[in-house]
Amino acid sequence: MQTLTSFESMQAWANATHREGLRIGFVPTMGFLHAGHVSLMERLRPEVDRLVVSIYVNPLQFGPDEDLERYPRDPEGDAAKCDGAGVDVLFMPPDLYPDGFVTSVAVDRLTDGMCGATRPGHFDGVTTVVARLFNLVRADVACFGEKDFQQLAVIRRMVRDLAMPVEIVGGPLVRDPDGLAMSSRNKYLTETDRERGLSLHRALFAMRDAATAGEKRAEALLAIGRDTLTVDKLHYLELVDAESLQRIERVERPARALVAAFLGKTRLIDNVGIV
């Protein structure tokens, strides 16, 4: 495994690899890798010639009061995990943007609700960095986790709208044995916070089970979810169409239940499919 630390060297490698006609797979991350990230690498590995993982904690996608400064880091552990997953290039630049950078990519509508409403500017930061990374890496296929379900929908939309020559693959959310969705931010949780944080997936699963048992009314399902949650501050609990991310009144087509909440100072998200 090669480690590259400048965007110039990343671009040079990608252009040379691209000219050889090799298929490049890409998993962009912010590091502090866990089994969820590794599952994305394993998902792409068999279908590409070269696999690239980037680690970059992107300032553009953090709000002024968010946890940019204390976002957890573990470069050595990350490198070992990537190496173990058969990664060819680990791209970990200290800086990603050129001098005088002033360009942004934004996706409207899909970013109105949920994490878009509770984290203003977040998705613009995500789409901007991902657009730049796709070009730097010359990715033919890229994998994003369904853990960030809204992000995955936003990136699919951007790729379609701008006709980007990259295929987007979603990877299933990975849970710890106790059911908590894996996240780099879980390390912040105290034992009590973590215990109460388990109410996120319990709420979502309760909604899913009720829908499967025949309850199709969104309001009733959301009430079931809310009754299950034991969190400090609920950012949102939503039931939306799985594709458009618009709120629904009844479950008639594939839907998704999504939640975001604070446990202590830590913001957790989770989601589950409702059919």
Q: Which residues participate in catalysis according to the annotation?
A: 37
Coil, strand or helix at 87 = coil
Query: What are the b/e assignments for 173-202, b being 16+ CB within 10 Å?
Result: bbebeeebbbbbbbebbeeebbebbebbbb
- Which one of residues 46, 69, 94, 103 is an interface residue with its own copies (CB under 8 A)? 103
CA distance 178 to 189: 14
Q: How far apart are CA 44 and CA 63, in angstroms?
A: 31
Q: Candidates 69-77, 99-107, 209-217, 250-258: pick the segment binding its own copies (CB under 8 A).
A: 99-107
Q: Is 108 in the site for its own copies (CB under 8 A)?
A: yes
Closest to its own copies by CB, 192 vs 246, is 246
Closest contact distance (angstroms) between CB of 145 and its own copies is 22
Site for its own copies in 110-149 (CB under 8 A): 110, 127, 131-132, 135-136, 138
Residues 231-260 as x/- pattern, contact with its own copies by CB under 8 A: ------------------------------
Applying CB under 8 A, does 56 fall inside the site for its own copies? no
**Candidate ranges 51-59, 106-114, 174-182, 197-205; the one touching its own copies (CB under 8 A):** 106-114
What is the distance between the alpha carbons of residues 52 and 86, in angstroms, rounded to a whole number?
A: 10
- DSSP secondary structure, 49-93, as one string: SEEEEEE---GGGS-TTSSTTT----HHHHHHHHHHTT-SEEE--
Choice between 3 and 135, CB closer to its own copies = 135
C-beta of residue 24 within 8 angstroms of C-beta of residue 49? yes
With tokens 């009733």, the residue in question is 220
Total count of residues recorded for the chain: 275
Asked if residue 16 binds its own copies (CB under 8 A), the reply is no
Task: Say if residues 24 and 136 touch (Cβ distance below 8 Å).
Answer: no
Smallest distance, Å, CB 132 to its own copies? 5
Chosen residue from 3, 9, 11, 118 binding its own copies by CB under 8 A: 11
Residue 268 engages its own copies in binding (rule: CB under 8 A): no
Question: By C-beta, is 20 or 76 nearer to its own copies?
Answer: 20
Strands 24-29 and 141-145: parallel
| Rounded CA separation 71/177 (Å) | 24
Please identify, using beta-carbon distances, which residue of 159 and 257 lies nearer to its own copies: 159
Q: Does 101 bind its own copies (CB under 8 A)?
A: yes
Q: What is the DSSP letter of 27?
A: E
Give the range of 92-100, 115-123, 216-224, 255-263 binding its own copies by CB under 8 A: 92-100
Query: In angstroms, rounded to a whole number, what is the distance separating the alpha carbons of residues 190 and 218?
Result: 33
Q: Does 162 help bind its own copies (rule: CB under 8 A)?
A: yes
Residue recorded with tokens 């913001």: 267
Q: Which residues of the chain form contacts with its own copies (CB under 8 A)?
A: 7, 11, 15, 19, 21, 97-98, 100-110, 127, 131-132, 135-136, 138, 157-158, 160-165
